[in-house]
Amino acid sequence: MDTIRLQVSQLREKAPELKAGDRVLLSGTVYTARDAAHKRFMELLQKNEPLPFPIRDSVIYYAGPTGTPPHLAIGSCGPTTSGRMDPYSPLLLDLGLAAMVGKGQRSEEVCRAIVRNRAVYLCALGGAGALASKCIKSCRVIAFEDLGCESVKELTFEDFPLIVAIDCSGGNLFLR
């Protein structure tokens, strides 16, 4: 099986070609957000206020990186369990989110939203956050700094290794 190299900017266009089980090396701008940040996203949307980054065609990585050592771009940055974001994900997908990166299966409602919006869910290898951090070239906090490791960060991925877990046609590695 070949590995597919993709830029974040290509995800929307290439999503129909991606199938559950495909290996992807993703490069480009990705945003971290976990439970607390997603809750704040919903509060902002309820007030008709903008999110801290443009959601359309973006990628959210469910991660809370550890502190950054002086000689690195980021500390350990592995995925967290995606299911905790399931209550929020369908709305973000309906607003144009192109992809989510995390670990573990998703709810039926999220799966339907992925298909409806021609998006994709990508899984990162859990337990390998230090290794994953080598594929992150920059990191800066862009919102909710008070949340510490759960603040929203803008990352630059370079050939970040992922597996397509749920594709936009409904293929799902967790249902095989």
Of 148, 136, 155, the residue nearest 67 (C-alpha)? 148
Asked if residue 165 has pLDDT above 70, the reply is: yes
How many whole angstroms separate alpha carbon 120 and alpha carbon 123?
Answer: 10
**Residue at 26 is within a domain:** yes
How many whole angstroms separate alpha carbon 128 and alpha carbon 172?
Answer: 23
**Residue at 65 is within a domain:** yes
H or E element, residue 98: none
How many whole angstroms separate alpha carbon 130 and alpha carbon 140?
Answer: 18
Catalytic residue selected from 38, 103, 106, 153: 38
Q: What is the mean pLDDT of the chain?
A: 95
Quote the pTM value.
Answer: 0.95
b/e 63-91 (16+ beta carbons within 10 angstroms → b): bbbeeeeeeebbbbbbbbebbebbebbbe
For the chain, the domain total comes to 1
**Residue at 35 is within a domain:** yes
Return the amino acid letter for 38.
H
pLDDT at 146: 96
**Residue at 176 is within a domain:** no
Mention every residue, 6+ apart, whose C-beta is less than 8 A from residue 48. Answer: none
38 is annotated as an active-site residue: yes
**Residue at 27 is within a domain:** yes
Return the amino acid letter for 71.
H
CATH number of the domain at 62, please. 3.20.130.10
**Residue at 175 is within a domain:** no
- At residue 1 the predicted structure's pLDDT band, cuts being 50, 70 and 90, is low
pLDDT digits (tens, 9 = 90+) for 39-71: 999 999 999 999 999 999 999 999 988 888 888
pLDDT at 64: 86
Q: Which domain holds residue 111?
A: 3-169
Asked if residue 20 has pLDDT above 90, the reply is: yes
Percent of the chain with pLDDT over 90: 83
